[in-house]
Amino acid sequence: MNWFCPTRSLGIHQPRGACRPRRVLRRGAHTVEFALILPVLLLMVTGSIELARMHMIHNSASNAAYEGARRGAVPGATASQAREAAENLLLAIGIHNPTIAVDPASIQDSTETVTVTVSVPLNDNAWLTPLFTKNKLIVQSCSLTRELVQP
């Protein structure tokens, strides 16, 4: 055991138990250090989880916009089918209250491009308290050229 007794090295006799091991002298230091570090650690873990969720929502919104535009680009597709394709992808991941807009609102045979825009509010989709992403909105858009059928 690592003993700390400065008077012993000087040859001064101390009563029994006067010199204690070093670890006993630091008994309260661990508690104080833990109390100071715990809030910082919890803030970092919470922020990391929320940031990871935000990136997952960003990628999912981008993928949903692409899938919706891809569905709307095929011959005979409608705007509601494109919106439904994007919405199904977001629902499978567990994203709540997305706003999906298809431009043009009515896809005709003469329509050249289809644009799908997906907006996801982060307040409704955070796993933890939306401390870092409060009142933020992720907006992703994708435009694809339609496949035109030659007569």
Q: Is the pLDDT of residue 2 over 50?
A: no
* Residue 1's pLDDT band (cuts 50, 70, 90): very low
Closest CA to 80 of 101, 111, 109: 101
CB 120 within 8 Å of CB 61: yes
* Residue 4's pLDDT band (cuts 50, 70, 90): low
15: how many CB neighbours lie within 10 A of its CB? Answer: 6
Q: Which of 23-27, 115-119, 129-133, 138-142 has the lowest mean pLDDT?
A: 23-27
Please give the pLDDT value at position 99: 94
Partners of 47 in the beta sheet?
A: none
